[in-house]
Structure 1
Amino acid sequence: MSNPPKTELKRSLSGLHLWGIAVGLVISGEYFGWSYGWAAAGTLGFLVTTILIAVMYTTFIFSFTELTTAIPHAGGPFAYSYRAFGAKGGFVAGFATLIEFVFAPPAIALAIGSYLNVQFPGLDPKLAAVGAYVVFMGLNIAGVTIAATFELLITVLAIIELLVFMGVVSPGFSWANFALNGWAGGSGFSSEAISGVFAAIPFAIWFFLAIEGAAMAAEETRNPTRTVPVAYIAGILTLVTLAFGTMIMAGGVGDWSSLANVNDPLPQAMKIVVGDNSGWLHMLVWIGLFGLIASFHGIIMGYSRQIFALARAGFMPPTFATVNPVTKTPVKAILAGGVVGIAAIFSDSLIEIGGLPLTANIVTMSVFGAIVMYIMSMAALFKLRASEPNLERPFRAPFYPVFPAIALVCALVALVTMIYFNVLVFALFCGLFLLGFIFYRFTAHLRDGAEADDMLDLAQNEARALVD
């Protein structure tokens, strides 16, 4: 009896598409979210936090690329941890990635609503956020090439806009403004300042969060072993440059404390320099939306592929592993993540905890998922180097084992400090993980009946043995 055909995605993306996805997934982090770090650490304290996190991400991406090129799978981190540690390891990495990618879009959608509210004060930001979900889920359903080309276009526009922002506000920039009261507690050596540096970690991570999501498009990329390394390395260098440029220029134009708890720090910073009625300001609001849209649209692509891969391997209901025969996109997976995201937008009483705004807590929840996934991915890299030394690795992590060790240690430190400063959000994160594990524990039959996948199989044979 012949085996049924595998459920596959279409390989149609170029390296330029993948760079656009890698940068586009993240670039909204330059437009909002990071300024909450100023409230926690001050400008100088948050600058220290951002330097530490930039080191973590740079070493992580150079290491992560080894896994992506060796195992070009739509599940990304799920596939790497599954191959290294078996089904339970795959569950931990896959579910953590799912939390990261499902909770990031509602935070971005709320920021889209806030940006639109600048132009249309009568518009409810939450309704605008829901409208964004409807529009961009539809675009993702239309086809991956259409979606990725759109992602590339708006990512380029978003980068241009950030450069324009830096240029327009530069006449009003002063390092004295940026450094004024720049440490939490007043001094860089005080316990309050050190505490603030660590408390601000989630918001520095937001500058770079989700760049790893491009790995989930590797299965749809032409010649991934060559294009993925170039796209990832160019992507992280682009984002580090934009993150520091945007943050420093915005903080030096006036009273930075007025920008510390808003969803639209760039328009507010530009107002200080050019006034409320400048054409530059209106351009920033409208074109600035492209940055938010690029990440929002790209992360919808990312979460849908993660849901698809988990379902295909038997970790979620198999209905989410179906692909539309015409568009070749996982329609049900796209819609499922959207339902959760829209629910989060309207969950103020549940998620607005710890005295922080709704958006800040959604950001923190997403970051918890990311950090757990980073830890699992680096652990998988070390494990696979030992257990599968002959695995074909078109790209090898430079300075091994130093780079992956730096990324792993930084991620562990970030996780511990985030738990300390965000106990309630972490409890909610653990609650979601518990629900996921209950489903995993009682659905072994789904994994037994899942289609064979050589990339997940340690022995790389057709008779895959699941060890639960």
Structure 2
Amino acid sequence: MTEATTTQLKRVLKPIHLWAIAVGLVISGEYFGWNYGWGVSGTVGFLIATVIITVMYVTFIFSYTELTTAIPHAGGAFAYAYRAMGPFGGLIAGYATLIDFLFATPAIAAALGSYLHFLYPSIPIVPSALFFNVLFIGINVSGMKESAVFSVVITILAVAELLLFMGVVGPHFRMSNYLSHPMPFGWGGVFAALPFAVWFYLAIEGVAMVAEEVKEPKKNIPIGYISGLVTLIFLTFGVMILTGGITDWHRLSNVLDPLPESIAIALGKANGLTKIFASIGLFGLIASFHGTILASSRQVYAMARSGYLPRFLSKLNRRFQTPYWALIAGGVISMVALYFDNTAENIVILSAMGAVFMYMMSMISLFILRKKEPDLERPFASPFYPVFPAVALIISAVSLFAIIYYHFMVSLVFFAILTVVAVVFVVMGKHKVQLIEPGLN
């Protein structure tokens, strides 16, 4: 039994677009979410956790790029796991990727709403978050080239703003603040902080979702990934360390808008620069929000095209060649998540869980494909193989265990849904279907 695809995306993306998508997907992680990690580890404990997670992402991205360039498929990890492990492997990796991106979107939407509320207290968080959902679904429907140009502009503005933030708060940094209760929970706190450190880089793997829309993917994808990762590492440590020395870090460990709050503490809330920063602070959140909507829609599209989700979700808009039903479906999920958890902390954890689970599946796929298909063309080979993918796999597994240990109920939801999906998959007989698509065979 076979299934074939009849839809095709347009190749329009260049290295600058890939850099913008890679950085744009992640850059909101510097604006919010990570600061929850201070609450479980302290500043130094979280710094150690971030170093560990940075090592994970460096080794992961250099290994993941091998898969992305060898198998440039919109399904990303779904395609790699399917090729390595068959239908069940594809299902599990695809599910984890969907959780990763579909729940990153409402978390960022909640932060957008919070930033607006900081500027204009009369504007409630959830309605504005819902408005952003509708607006950016429309932008993404309008065409990939248009979306990519928007990504470049908004990402450059977001990076510039974080550099401005570091310049403004740097003179107010006090080491005494940063080292106040640096590791209140010891090494256990470092372990607990790993999922929040993931938020600094979560979603960079989304570049793989646009692989079918990249010109010369085997040459350009590595450039996009590596340049994006270098940019993010610099921003991550600059923002995290400087913010931790502004005041007693406890004041910022449980808010959705730590950066404008930091400037307000340093300069005063009435200072004009505080308002300006909060206003342009929307750029970083918008960049990631736009990027996660883009990436999640391509994952939905790819899995629907392969029959792993309802087929209508793979339909493309005739004029713009964009997966409009996939975009709408992602928007609905985002709105439902916002309704049930507008604080975003549990959504952040659920998204991080999907991410590290997907990282594990991807590294396992890489090892299997090295054995199973030694002659597969690999335009970019993972350096220091097998060390890099092994390190990425081990740290991802430790991070997954940390999430399960400290967030058991969220983890229960993740695995309960996966179980239901797997049962439906078997009942429908999808595990017996051999897909015929470029990249999957």
Q: TM-score, normalised by structure 2?
A: 0.97
Give 1:454's aligned residue: 438
Are positions 1:283 and 2:276 aligned together? yes
Instruction: Summarize the Cα distance change of 1:5–1:266 in structure 2 as closer, same or farther, 3 Å threshold.
Output: closer
CA distance in 2, matches of 1:89, 1:4: 19
Give 1:373's aligned residue: 358
Are positions 1:224 and 2:217 aligned together? yes
The aligned amino acid for 2:297 is S
After TM superposition, the structure 1 = structure 2 runs for residues 52-451 of structure 1, keeping only pairs within 5 Å, are: 52-184=52-184, 192-348=185-341, 358-444=343-429, 448=433
The aligned amino acid for 1:239 is L
Task: Give, in angstroms, the shift of residue 431 of structure 1.
Answer: 1.6
Task: Give, in angstroms, the shift of residue 183 of structure 1.
Answer: 1.1
Task: Give, in angstroms, the shift of residue 272 of structure 1.
Answer: 1.3
Q: Count matched residues.
A: 439
**8 Å CA contact retained: 1:33, 1:263:** yes
Task: Give, in angstroms, the shift of residue 444 of structure 1.
Answer: 2.9
Q: 1:302-354 CA distances to partner (integer Å, 9 max, x unpaired)?
A: 11000000011111111111111111000000000110110010114xxxxxx
**8 Å CA contact retained: 1:80, 1:90:** yes
Task: Give, in angstroms, the shift of residue 236 of structure 1.
Answer: 0.8
The aligned amino acid for 2:18 is L
Task: Give, in angstroms, the shift of residue 175 of structure 1.
Answer: 1.5
Identical aligned residues as a percent = 50
Task: Give, in angstroms, the shift of residue 119 of structure 1.
Answer: 1.1
**8 Å CA contact retained: 1:65, 1:229:** yes
CA distance in 1, matches of 2:368, 2:434: 27
Instruction: Summarize the Cα distance change of 1:27–1:416 in structure 2 as closer, same or farther, 3 Å threshold.
Output: same
CA distance in 2, matches of 1:248, 1:303: 31
Q: 1:359-398 CA distances to partner (integer Å, 9 max, x unpaired)?
A: 1110000011111100000000111011101000000001
Consecutive unaligned residues in structure 1, runs of 5 or more: 185-191, 349-356, 458-468
Question: SS at 1:35's partner residue?
Answer: helix
Structure 1 vs Structure 2 CA RMSD: 1.4
The aligned amino acid for 1:293 is I
Task: Give, in angstroms, the shift of residue 445 of structure 1.
Answer: 5.8
**8 Å CA contact retained: 1:308, 1:320:** yes
**8 Å CA contact retained: 2:206, 2:292:** yes
Question: SS at 1:393's partner residue?
Answer: coil
**8 Å CA contact retained: 2:44, 2:183:** yes
Task: Give, in angstroms, the shift of residue 247 of structure 1.
Answer: 0.5
Q: TM-score, normalised by structure 1?
A: 0.92
Q: 1:409-430 CA distances to partner (integer Å, 9 max, x unpaired)?
A: 1011111121111111000111
Task: Give, in angstroms, the shift of residue 279 of structure 1.
Answer: 2.1
The aligned amino acid for 1:363 is V
The aligned amino acid for 2:275 is H
Question: SS at 1:225's partner residue?
Answer: helix
CA distance in 1, matches of 2:209, 2:307: 17
**8 Å CA contact retained: 2:88, 2:431:** no
Give 1:353's aligned residue: none
Give 1:11's aligned residue: 11
**8 Å CA contact retained: 1:315, 1:446:** no
